[in-house]
Amino acid sequence: MLLIRRGDRGPRVVMIQGILRAQGAHIDIDGAYGPNTAAAVSAFQQRAGGLLADGTIGLDTWRAIERVTGYRIINVVDAEDSAQRQRVCSGLTRAGGNPIIMYGMSNAVAAAMDEVVARAGAGGMTAMVRFYSHGGPGMQNVASGHDGGNMGHLSGVSVQHFPAMRAQFERLNDILAPFGCVDMMGCSVGDGAQGDALLNGISDAANRPAEAGIQVQYSQDEGHKVFNFEGPVKASYPGRRSRQAWGRHVQGWIGPLRRTG
């Protein structure tokens, strides 16, 4: 349920590099999908069998990663816009996903996290938690609720109300892999100072990177586009680290390469 290729940068690349390094690949974790990462992906594809060894993470390769390593992605979809729900869930289920579907309620963030934690189980084998709904700069619905998404009911995530939901995002510490990340897939969530503030709050609470698009996300309904951001992406790393510094931190967290062969 991903498309990651040479030239990409950011938390998703850290995630892939972390998975590969944990499997014994001799690559540095720097969040940049360069020739060494592409070669490591190609080697994994050859070992997995039945895959085109093109060095690109697509749906078939991600399914193989899930099968071989046990790492997985958990998707949370807001059901209140039925057209969006059908588009997103159709794309996710075609790719083999089983999204958590949230209907309107108060305290939706807490309810969603209950579902995420229950599905993740123990062992830190969740590589990404991804939220789909409508959004705006510094805010995104989770389950829009009877009042149409009033953040005062904690039916979504916002800068203004984040202190009340920080503890919910802290719960991701226990389920995300060391190289995991949080993706907010709503429109323009990462835009401007409000977007910065929200992503900083999420990344510090979860102790994992958080990323979001800064433009309208039109294409949540076809092919790979349901899994990826449209246009520029903004990412925040815990403690305001740079991408490279976070990669070094994750590499130390994973530890030295295992001997193989």
- pLDDT of amino acid 226: 83
Query: What is the average per-residue pLDDT within 112-126?
Result: 93
Q: What is the CA radius of gyration of the chain?
A: 17
Residue 114 confidence class, pLDDT cut points 50, 70, 90: very high
Residue 4 lies in a domain: no
The answer to whether 190 and 212 are in contact (CB under 8 A) is yes
Number of compact structural domains in the chain: 1
145 found inside a domain: yes
Full residue range of the structural domain in which residue 181 is found: 11-254
Contact, 98 vs 44, CB < 8 A? Answer: no
In a domain, 247, yes or no: yes
Pair type for strands 126-132 and 176-184 = parallel
CA distance 174 to 117: 9
pTM: 0.93
- Taking 60 as the threshold, does the pLDDT of residue 223 lie above it? no
What is the distance between the alpha carbons of residues 126 and 121, in angstroms, rounded to a whole number? 9
In a domain, residue 26? The reply is yes
Query: Is residue 66 assigned to a domain?
Result: yes
pLDDT in tens, 228-260: 898 999 999 999 999 999 999 999 988 765 543
Residue in 187, 206, 186, 203 with CA at minimum distance from that of residue 243: 203
pLDDT over 60 at 74, yes or no: yes
What mean pLDDT comes out for the span 151-173?
90
- Residue 5 is assigned to a structural domain of this protein: no
Q: Is 151's pLDDT higher than 90?
A: no
Asked which of 68-77, 138-147, 186-195 is least confident by mean pLDDT, the reply is 138-147
Residue 103 lies in a domain: yes
Q: How confident is the model at residue 1 (pLDDT cuts 50, 70, 90)?
A: confident
Domain assignment present for 3: no
Model confidence at 107, pLDDT cuts 50, 70, 90, reads: confident
Q: What is the mean pLDDT of the chain?
A: 90
Positive or negative torsion for Cα 247, 128, 93, 141: negative
